[in-house]
Amino acid sequence: MDALPELDDVLSRSHVVSVPLTTRFRVVQHREAVLLDGPAGWSEFAPFLEYSDAEASTWLAAALDFGWRESRAPALRQSIPVNATLPAVPLDQIAGVLSRFGDCRTVKIKVAEPGESLADDVARVRETRRLIGAAGRIRLDANGAWNLDEAEHAVRELEQFDLEYVEQPCASVPELAELRRRIHRIDVLVAADESVRKAADPLAVARAEAADLLVIKAAPLGGVDRALRIVAEAGLPAVVSSALDTSVGHAMGAALAARLPSLEFDCGLGTGALLADDIANPRIVPVNGAIGVGRASLDADALTRLSAPADRTAWWRERLTRCHAVLATAPR
């Protein structure tokens, strides 16, 4: 990002929204976000509620970067293939959730969720495989919830369903490296997400040879161009993902995916299908297994309809103010 926009200007361009979900996603039932009407187009600031100001300030840097200027890198494609995302829902709800994503050929299944057992995960993956058939692709996301032995056991139990990769099976880089060594004879790749986006050194996972590919998100990595630099330095294939964004956030993710030199895997940019409403017209959701590249156009009526309550609006504006102060005092 170039010069930091003035706080008053940022606040004057902010709109806080609360968007309902079609189904509970981990602990989230409404997705709150600050939408910024920047000079270069709409942008989104939506770090999860539990994140510290230090971590959330990186998301603000990305939002200001995307809203106040265009990326310096050229777009190499105008359509991004995406996966469906399946939360930890009961078996009889799987078909309904997947139907919201249309013709996506790849499904990412959340596993190792609190209150769920490995048997629950096996049943969910089995049913998904049955529904999408042998040609479909399945990837898993454990969000670092397994320890090393649990991860090895789970991968060996679940690899019967022809997995594409398992995302962040363990929390630490050493655990990922050891798991990768243990399962090297199994045709299941290891992907790193939190070990990149939440790490002080996002390249440590690549240096440790702890992953076969990276899952990257534009917002927590500080923006499109910084994420591109991290991928280039890591030298690993990358999957661009989202953080349950509105269409504005998905537009930033699509901008990043459009600029990667190669795109070997379907991206996790289809979670707009899990929103019961959205602020864009048209919405950025999967069509024929892909989303387009371009800025989101906001619907004025939706922006009013989805405005957050006054107390939540005040909370987010105060958070934005604190994060702006973090950025203002950071080395540049």
Residues marked as catalytic: 110, 217
- The response to whether 120 counts as a known ligand-binding position is no
Residue 102, SS3? coil
Strands (DSSP E) found in the chain: 14-25, 28-38, 41-45, 79-81, 84-86, 106-110, 137-141, 163-167, 189-192, 213-216, 238-240, 290-292
- Beta carbons of 54 and 39 less than 8 angstroms apart: no
DSSP 59: H
- The response to whether 187 counts as a known ligand-binding position is no
Q: Please list the helix, strand and coil fractions of the chain in percent, rounded to the nearest 5, in that order.
A: 40, 20, 40
**Crossing angle of the two packed helices 53-68 and 310-329, in degrees rounded to 10:** 90
**Strand bridging mode 290-292 / 238-240:** unpaired
In the chain, the largest separation of any two C-alpha atoms, in whole Å, equals 56
- The response to whether 127 counts as a known ligand-binding position is no
Distances (CA, A) of 112 to 38, 124, 331: 39, 11, 38
First to last CA, the chain: 9
Closest CA to 266 of 102, 79, 82, 77: 82
> Edge-to-edge, what's the strand order for the sheet holding 28-38?
14-25, 28-38, 41-45
**Strand bridging mode 41-45 / 28-38:** antiparallel
CA distance 212 to 206: 8
| Annotated binding residues | 141, 167, 193
| Annotated binding residues for Mg(2+) | 141, 167, 193
